[in-house]
Amino acid sequence: MPPSTLTLLGLVRHLAEVERNWFRRVIDGQDVPLVWSPEGDFQVAYDASGATRADAFAAWEAEVEHSRRIEAAAESLDVTVFNARWGEEVSLRLVMLHLIHEYARHNGHADFLREGIDGTVGA
């Protein structure tokens, strides 16, 4: 595997940004900045230099909790909002499916990172 700046901690930070963006900013319409990616470039969150495990996981856990509250408060999964980045209406259902795909991709990335460290395949 070629060298990479991608880290497991960077993935956690990235997923915190993803949760914050989709649920708080898009679905709930909150005017909150991203934590590590002020310009919306989620790749910036991957740079975990100087980050601590505790900080990254606390941010991710807090964003997941916000997401759960927003989903629970929604009238239904069919609620739609305009997503300016995509230029179209998106439903809560679509956002939830999008996040399932996002987590699946990044779990695969984590497997590659682990394999590069310890050589374990398919565990």
Share of the chain above pLDDT 90, in %: 56
Give me 48's structure tokens.
């975990």
- For the segment 96-107, what is each residue's pLDDT rounded down to a tens digit? 999 999 999 988
User: What average pLDDT does the segment 40-45 reach?
Assistant: 68
What type of residue is 79?
V
Q: Determine the Cα–Cα distance for residues 36 and 21; give it in Å rounded to an integer.
A: 12
The pTM of this model reads: 0.86
Q: Determine the Cα–Cα distance for residues 98 and 22; give it in Å rounded to an integer.
A: 9
Domain boundaries, the chain: 8-118
User: What average pLDDT does the segment 60-81 reach?
Assistant: 97
